[in-house]
Structures are given as C-alpha cells and as structure tokens.
Amino acid sequence: MYISKSFIPILKNNPSEAKIKSHQLMLRVGMIKQSSAGIYSWLPLGFKVMKKIEEIVRQEQNKIGAQEILMPTIQSSEIWKESGRYEDYGEEMLRIKDRQNREMLYGPTNEELVTDIFRSSVKSYKSLPQLLYHIQWKFRDEIRPRFGIMRCREFYMKDAYSFDISDKEAIFSYNKFFLSYLKTFKRLDLTAIPMAADTGPIGGNLSHEFIILAETGESKIYTDKRIFEVENAETKLEENSLENLRKKYEQFYSVTDDKFNKDEFESKVSEKNRLKTKGIEVGHIFYFGDKYSKAMQASVDLPGGKKDFVKMGSYGIGVSRLVGAIIEAKYDHKNEIMKWPISVAPYDVSIIPMINKNDSSALEKANQINSQFIKNGIDAIIDDTDENFSSKIKKMNLIGAPYQIILGKQIDGDLLEFKETGQEAKKINLNQIIKIIKEEKEKI
C-alpha cells in the first residue's frame, strides 16, 4: 500500500483536546474520528488493528469451546423488566421508542437477551454446559466520556455467557474463561493481571477484572508484585488444572480500589512486594449463579426429573478499548515511537524510500521489495511521497509497523537497512528480512 493512496489522514501536531497518549496518537495518525461526544468512526488504520484484536479474541473463545452468535444492538425493554434491571440500570442506558411507541433500548450488555435465547430452546441438563459469545457494539451513556475510545459511549465488546447445571460446573466454565483471557492478552503482548473485583450492577459473588498497568489508567490497583511471576503455560483445559491456575493467582493479594482494605494489604503483603499503581481494565468476568435465570425462569430438567434454574456467568473484553490500551502500554514517549505487536499491527513493515524529483530509483526498489513481500504474505506500507526523509521517518514511527526498511540514496548491493522500529538498523538481504518477519508472524 502506498501512503499517498491510503486513507490515513495524519495531523501535523497532537490534537489539543486529547489528554492521554492513546487518544492523541489515534487522532494524530487518523485511526479514528469523533462523530459526536463519545462516539467514533473507525478509519482504515484503526479498524485494521481492532479487527486483528477481535480475531485473536475470537480464536481464544473458540479454543475453550465457546460458540459464536450475534445478538442485535437494539433490544426490547420487556426482558429487562423481567430481570428487574430496566429501572436499576439508570441513565447509562440509552432508551428509545419505536413508531408503535414500544420501549426499546441500545444494549449496554446482554445477560437478559442471551437468557431469553437460552430458555426458549434448552430444556435439559444434557445440553449443558453452553458457552455462547458475541462480539458486538454496546452503548452506555457515560456521564463523562473521555480519553477517546478508552471511555466512550459506543464501544465494541466481546461478551460471553455460560450456562451450567451446578455451581461446581459453573466454576469450571468460569475458570475456562479465566485461562482464555490470560492467553488472549498474552497474544496481544500485554501483561494483564486478574484482580478480585466487585460485581457491581451485574451482581453475583465471584469476579475478576483483568488489568494492565498504565499510569493513565482509571483503576487504582493494590497488588503483590509476585503475581507477575505466575506461569500459565502448562495449564490444561481440565477442571483441576484450571482451578489450580486460578488459585495460583489468588494466593497473592491483588485488588482494585472498590475492594481495597489498607490493613489487609499491609498484613498480607510484605513491604518490598507492595505495589500501588494504576491500570486499565481490559476484561471483566463474573459468576452470578441463578440471578438472571431465576428472575427470567430459565430452568432445565435435572437427571432425577426435577427442574432447576441454570447457573450463569458473564465474561467481557473491551475489544475497542484494547486498541488504546496497547498504545498506552507500548508507546515510547521519549523517542515518540509506537511499535505495535506484530499480532495486531496495521502493517508488518514500512518501507521508507528517499525520493527526489529526478531520482525515483529508491521507489522502484521499494516496489520490487514489496512484490516479494506480497508473495510471502507480508503486509507493507510504502511512503511514496516526496516529503523530506526525516519527516517520513517520524510519520512511520507513529504509524507503528514493527519493522522498517530504509532506502537511502545509495543501496549497498543486496544489503538493505532494516530495523525493528525503535532499534538500531542492521544491513541484511531481503531473504533474511522475509525470514525474520515470517518467523515472528508464525509465533502469533
């Protein structure tokens, strides 16, 4: 892709309305455009990143046996009246009336709708467990939308729901999501720590928030540093193994401010292991038993012939928020460089040829390189403009492809100036470059 032909509306300076890096960068390189307060359009660069995140989230849901569905954004108020949340949800819910004067709403979450789908078709314990998810826009009329897509009103979320016959089975489902979240964030090259959390308006008794550390985060966190050393590589998708994994995390004190208790923190965590900092909530999982199934009469036949309400959990990931969260975690402030993890990068590599009015040989070289990249499934962006060389490099440093090829005036035989964005350049040939990038992409 040539930069001159791409729809990447770059701004010369950081927009003054943006307070944190992710918001600044996303506006600066034209990843998003605000359409009204807390509502954004996603432009090609931003949309590409979000779609790659979505795909990783999807793959990790499928791996634990969750099945994808798609529920609508607009819901009827009826089911929310059944659960009792129509009033409780308050002003964050966007309420709409259709032409028949029926009360509708733009879904802020989907417990009611999915319970309604479940109860109309599943009648027996034999069909359990059921893990259903969808990836869909949500609307919450946040009182103060801020930080761009980090806290906005319309946002893209993966939400999953589990249905089980007993508490024990339901905790097994919960633990599957616990593991799948750790794996998802790892593939996004993020360290997300599971923290004991309050259940809030969703209700229930077991809950974890997945938080990534960032100074600009809105969650205050209090944790035992040793939680960062917990390993999950060997965990099998089997009941005991998953339970042990969650326990391995839970042995370390780690909470957000809702659950914080100073005495507990100081008695459980030695001074040298205490960490008080801030973070961004990228995921949240809840176990809430029969809270909705009881209110909405979602029951199944049990083995002995009796009936019981199903036990449910719900599991969210902020897919659109993750785009900003990755920037907050990865942006190099000192050198003004963004380097996307290759798993979600908008381009794998940028090619930066030095172009003069009367010399287009570097651009020709860029085209030759790109045709080899295309053959090898490598997605490159070429800066074919005649801007000066240093501003081209600055621009590519913000777009953030994880690799760069710099084609100066003189090209040294087969050897190309290649670098990992933000690192020292080295001179290697095209085959070696292709090998490096392909190997990295295979690790995703």
User: CB of residue 318 vs ligand ATP: minimum separation in angstroms?
Assistant: 2
346 binds, among ligand ATP, Mg ion, none (CB under 5 to 8 A by kind): none
**Looking at beta carbons only, is 130 or 180 nearer to Mg ion?**
180
321 binds, among ligand ATP, Mg ion, none (CB under 5 to 8 A by kind): ligand ATP
Listed ranges 185-193, 228-236, 247-255, 278-286: which one lies at the site for Mg ion (CB under 5 A): 278-286
Q: Are 340 and 401 in contact (CB under 8 A)?
A: yes
Long-range Cβ contacts of 298-303 (<8 Å, 24+ apart): 298/115, 298/118, 298/119, 298/163, 299/119, 300/122, 300/123, 300/124, 300/125, 300/127, 300/128, 300/165, 301/123, 301/124, 301/125, 302/125, 302/165, 303/125
152 binds, among ligand ATP, Mg ion, none (CB under 5 to 8 A by kind): ligand ATP
User: CB of residue 38 vs ligand ATP: minimum separation in angstroms?
Assistant: 8
**Looking at beta carbons only, is 28 or 284 nearer to Mg ion?**
284
What distance in Å separates the CA atoms of residue 285 and residue 182, rounded to the nearest whole number?
12
Residue 270 has which token pair?
A: 């030695």
**Looking at beta carbons only, is 130 or 223 nearer to Mg ion?**
223
**Looking at beta carbons only, is 56 or 399 nearer to ligand ATP?**
56
Upper half-sphere CA count for residue 125 (Cβ side, 13 Å): 14
148 binds, among Mg ion, ligand ATP, none (CB under 5 to 8 A by kind): none
User: CB of residue 312 vs ligand ATP: minimum separation in angstroms?
Assistant: 15
User: CB of residue 296 vs ligand ATP: minimum separation in angstroms?
Assistant: 19
* Max Cα–Cα distance, the chain, nearest Å: 86
- Cβ burial of 177 (10 Å; 0-12, 13-18, 19+) is buried
What distance in Å separates the CA atoms of residue 202 and residue 286, rounded to the nearest whole number?
8
155 binds, among Mg ion, ligand ATP, none (CB under 5 to 8 A by kind): ligand ATP
Q: Are 344 and 172 in contact (CB under 8 A)?
A: no
User: CB of residue 31 vs ligand ATP: minimum separation in angstroms?
Assistant: 15
Output the residue with the shortest Cβ distance to ligand ATP: 318
**Peptide bond just before 9 cis, omega within 30 deg:** no
Q: Are 152 and 38 in contact (CB under 8 A)?
A: yes
Output the residue with the shortest Cβ distance to Mg ion: 284
Rg of the chain over all Cα atoms, to the nearest angstrom:
24
User: CB of residue 68 vs Mg ion: minimum separation in angstroms?
Assistant: 22
**Looking at beta carbons only, is 135 or 227 nearer to ligand ATP?**
135
What distance in Å separates the CA atoms of residue 285 and residue 314, rounded to the nearest whole number?
6
**Looking at beta carbons only, is 195 or 298 nearer to Mg ion?**
195
279 binds, among Mg ion, ligand ATP, none (CB under 5 to 8 A by kind): none
What distance in Å separates the CA atoms of residue 252 and residue 371, rounded to the nearest whole number?
51
- Cβ burial of 250 (10 Å; 0-12, 13-18, 19+) is middle
**Looking at beta carbons only, is 21 or 284 nearer to ligand ATP?**
284
170 binds, among Mg ion, ligand ATP, none (CB under 5 to 8 A by kind): none
Binding site for ligand ATP (CB under 6 A): 109, 140, 142, 151-152, 155, 157, 281-284, 316, 318, 321
User: CB of residue 269 vs ligand ATP: minimum separation in angstroms?
Assistant: 24
Site size toward Mg ion (CB under 5 A) is: 1
**Looking at beta carbons only, is 152 or 298 nearer to ligand ATP?**
152
User: CB of residue 149 vs ligand ATP: minimum separation in angstroms?
Assistant: 6
Phi-psi region of 204 (alpha: psi -120 to 50; beta: other; left: phi over 0): left
Exactly one of 284, 311, 330, 395 binds Mg ion (CB under 5 A); that residue is: 284
Binding residues vs Mg ion (CB under 5 A) = 284
